[in-house]
């Protein structure tokens, strides 16, 4: 998958809840343009949460398309994700978009990419963006060594660790929980 250098989004399914969070930094090249962008959105009356990394305008275009797919497929997360990925890969306009998305409901976590990938994790966590490997590593350690933490606490801590390391990630976090 293409590596997006712009943010960090982390999603964890733990103890029957799904938490997804992102930092708030927007960059233009290697300059901070804004520090409080909201990269997490609730859809389908709060039953589905999305997080995006990459070009903001591109991400909003994908978010609108995903919301359309959810409407077309009666809120079926996996079906909407697959249909968006097919369009993203084959549509001449969408193919040029530079973003990735994590989508989640109370049962599933999926990452959707422009190469047509819809990936469901084996370990109930996903991360995208420039700080994704830091956040993912921290989250894996927390799941293993601090299972008493909630999904939201794990997301917050994983993102905080990524923000300490990754210059494209800051500490202005937005975290949403789906129960």
Residue at 2 is within a domain: no
The residue annotated as part of the active site, out of 7, 8, 27, 50, is 7
The 10 Å CB-count burial string (b at 16+, else e) for 61-79 is bbbebbbebbeeeeeebee
pLDDT tens sequence across 107-121: 999 999 877 899 999
Specify whether 7 is catalytic: yes
Q: Give the chain's domain count.
A: 1
The reported pLDDT for the residue numbered 1 is 46
Cβ pair 48, 103 in contact under 8 A: yes
Average predicted confidence (pLDDT) for the chain: 91
Residue at 179 is within a domain: no
Helix residue spans in 93-167 (DSSP H):
132-145, 151-165
State which residues form the domain around 169: 8-174
- Whether residue 87 is predicted with pLDDT greater than 90 in this model: the reply is no
CATH no. for residue 170? 3.60.20.10
Long-range contacts formed by 27-34: CB under 8 A, 24+ apart: 27/168, 30/167, 32/170
pLDDT tens sequence across 37-53: 999 999 999 999 999 98
pLDDT tens sequence across 116-170: 899 999 999 999 999 999 999 999 999 999 999 999 999 999 999 999 999 999 9
């Amino acid at each position: 998958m293409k590596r997006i250098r712009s943010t960090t989004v982390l999603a964890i399914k733990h103890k029957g809840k799904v938490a997804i969070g992102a930092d708030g930094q927007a960059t233009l090249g290697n300059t901070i343009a804004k520090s409080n962008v909201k990269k997490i959105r609730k859809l389908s009356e709060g039953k589905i949460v999305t997080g995006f990394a990459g070009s903001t305008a591109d991400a909003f275009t994908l978010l609108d398309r995903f919301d359309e797919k959810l409407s077309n497929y009666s809120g079926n997360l996996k079906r909407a994700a697959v249909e968006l990925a097919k369009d993203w890969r084959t549509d001449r306009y969408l193919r040029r978009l530079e973003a990735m998305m994590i989508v989640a409901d109370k049962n599933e976590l999926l990452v959707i990419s422009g190469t047509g990938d819809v990936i469901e994790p084996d370990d109930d966590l996903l991360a995208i963006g420039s700080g994704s490997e830091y956040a993912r590593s921290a989250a894996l350690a927390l799941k293993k060594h601090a299972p008493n933490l909630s999904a939201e606490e794990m997301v917050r801590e994983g993102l905080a660790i990524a923000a300490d390391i990754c210059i494209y990630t800051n500490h202005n976090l937005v975290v949403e929980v789906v129960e």
